[in-house]
Amino acid sequence: MRELQQNRNIKIIKTDEWCIPIRTVEVTYEPVRRSTMDVLMTMLLISIQEADFASTHELSELLLVDPLFIEDLVSLMSRASLIEQKENFYRLTSKGQQQLERGIFEEELDVEMANLYYSPCHLAFLTVDEDNMEEYDDLPELYRYVDEEAEKQEHFEEAMLIDALQQEDDGQAGASQKIISKIVQTDAKQINDSPCLEFVLYNKEQDIVFVRVWNALLNQWDSYLEQQLTEKEQLQWREKYL
């Protein structure tokens, strides 16, 4: 309220509080680490592509690189299914050929688990700081425009889940990036209600009525809910409150 009232032309003409349902969805997924292929790996793959090599020692002699480095890298590329041994020689797999052409190395990582938070009012997963989540003993009534069908939803498209998980990891930096390759399992768990504060405002200078909604879960103003209320109720505000 203090923030809104910093503008002397703004008058609060209605306040309300209500809560939105938030469903916790536990997701198990397979990530991969994607990075630019380094020079030595590129040289190894090109060498294996162009000639027959039966041992890491032969590759080490050709590239003039310490045998231990070559052994480690060949072992890594084998585990990543970039190369295989056929008829006693190393050969590129189709996956290895594709990654060499793109210059990108993708390493499979251990299966991980994360919680996502779905809001049927937004028809979307919200990016939530779990440290800010609180439990409330006493909550106001439910938001008047809750989508009841969406509230019952327990199954979500894989692309939607992957997009939400990627947004959670957007803070990564550097040459490598963690990519979600596959959703293994989802488990739609409990629904918890989260409070919001609604302020209908009148700007005397501009002679306009508008709304602001503070979302306690996101700890910020919620433009989606503001837009929804504006579309549904704006015509009533002037008549009702002025």
Domains and CATH numbers, the chain: 4-30+111-241 (no CATH), 38-102 (1.10.10.10)
- Give pLDDT, residue 242: 83
Q: Strands (DSSP E) along the chain, which ranges?
A: 10-36, 83-86, 89-92, 104-108, 112-119, 124-126, 177-203, 208-215, 220-221
Q: What is the pLDDT of residues 143-169, one digit of tens each?
A: 999 988 888 888 999 999 999 999 876
Of 27-41, 150-164, 167-181, 186-200, which gets the smallest average pLDDT?
167-181
Q: What's the whole-number average pLDDT of the chain?
A: 91
Query: Residue 171 above 80 pLDDT?
Result: no
Percent of the residues in the chain that have a pLDDT greater than 90, as a whole number: 63
State the average pLDDT over residues 105-109: 89
Long-range contacts (CB closer than 8 Å, 24 or more residues apart) made by 213-221: 215/20, 216/134, 217/20, 217/22, 217/117, 217/126, 217/128, 217/132, 217/133, 218/126, 218/127, 218/128, 219/129, 219/132
Q: What is the pTM of this model?
A: 0.79
State the average pLDDT over residues 128-152: 85
Query: Residue 175 above 80 pLDDT?
Result: no
Of 99-108, 192-201, 225-234, which gets the smallest average pLDDT?
99-108
| CA angle (11, 16, 20) in 5-degree steps | 135
How far apart, in Å, are the Cα atoms of 122 and each of 9, 119, 127?
A: 31, 5, 12
Of 28-37, 131-140, 143-152, which gets the smallest average pLDDT?
131-140
Percent of the residues in the chain that have a pLDDT greater than 70, as a whole number: 97
Query: Residue 135 above 90 pLDDT?
Result: no
Element (H, E) at 161: helix 158-168
Residue labelled with tokens 């809750």: 146
Contact predicate 109/181, CB 8 Å: no
Kindly state the tokens that stand for 67.
């045998």
β-bridge mates for residue 36, sequence order: 104
- Give pLDDT, residue 75: 93
Contact predicate 20/52, CB 8 Å: no
Q: How many CB atoms lie within 10 A of CB 225?
A: 23
Four-residue CA torsion sign, 7, 212, 133, 113: negative
